[in-house]
Amino acid sequence: MTLASQARKYEPRAIPTNVGEAQVKTSAMIASLAAEGYDTVSAPFGHALIDAAQNDDRIIGLTADLSKYTDMHVFAKAMPERFYQMGMAEQLLFSAASGMAKEGFLPFAATYAVFASRRAYDFIAMAIAEQNLPVKITCALPGLTSGYGPSHQAFEDLAIFRGLPNMVLIDPCDAVDVAGMVPEMIAHPGPVYARLLRGRVPSVLTRHKPDYRFQLGKAQLIRNGADVLVISSGIMTMRALDAAEQLARDAVDVAVLHVPTIKPLDEATILAEAARGRLCVVAENHTENGGLGEAVAKALMLAGVRPEFRMIALPDEFLEAGALPTLHDMYGISTAGVARQIKGWL
């Protein structure tokens, strides 16, 4: 954080509702993704894991003192004999998961994204990825989904794990993605790192595309449009879809390509959509360095596809603390922020 941002850390924030309207203040910490208008599903990860475990005795759950905050408590209550509480020791969590995988189990190890990517990286690299073991790493508070400052904001987790051989990366948009990714993670023979949306998770994708289902390694066009193509992952697909509806009222036609798997990247679909002559915008809840935006840019350059290209992402800096709606608007990843930036580029 800069000196200026530290000075602002405890100041009340004011964010705009709509242009021309009075500003409203938000409280210090609001754990909400502001998914207004969408139905929500309670603990989709925990319930999907239970469903899978009922048909597969190999599945076990582990966490590092965060079962309640990763939805693993749902699994623990249903199957206590297959749940392991490792305490506040993430290196132990992933080392134990590695050992259990070697014994034939399918461990789902859950913690916060910052603790997996920063605190336990070397253990994941050597004990799991290097040996290509089927440990499934599910991590809450990805990107800017916590208002508790840099200690809990995993704004660089995808960049950290994207360079790790054998590791698959998933960034789900909503409850449909979260529930759908579990059986696909199980079917994949190697390690997987999945960002996790916890608690009451909005159901977004099937509202816009009723036949949508998560497919590992596949990008899917959720909305078509002639003027702009937004290539997005995670919660930014929700924001892109909402922004597209707003922009449609100004006669701006926005397509949204959802990319839930960051690695392996569905380059074929991305290239086909990007080659159609529209402004191409990558939107991600991650630092501008090393994530989906750079992966897409690399694919476009190597294939010789040259659309007008822009990125909506978090800045290359430690982020501030505060209420999520305030922070999302501040860093340009709110619905209004996405719509405003796209309109400015046209």
Find, among 74, 72, 103, the residue nearest to 86 by Cα.
Answer: 72
The C-alpha atoms of residue 292 and residue 62 are separated, in whole angstroms, by 28
The C-alpha atoms of residue 266 and residue 258 are separated, in whole angstroms, by 10
The C-alpha atoms of residue 177 and residue 256 are separated, in whole angstroms, by 16
User: Is residue 304 classed as helix, strand or coil in its secondary structure?
Assistant: coil
Amino acid at residue number 230 = V
Phi then psi for residue 207, to 5 deg, are -65, -35
Q: Read off the DSSP letter of residue 107.
A: E
**Selected catalytic residue, list 90, 156, 273, 320:** 90
Catalytic site residue 90? yes
User: Is residue 159 classed as helix, strand or coil in its secondary structure?
Assistant: helix
Q: Concatenated DSSP letters for 46-87?
A: HHHHHHHHTT-TTEEEEESS-STTTTHHHHHHH-GGGEEE--
Task: List active site positions.
Answer: 90
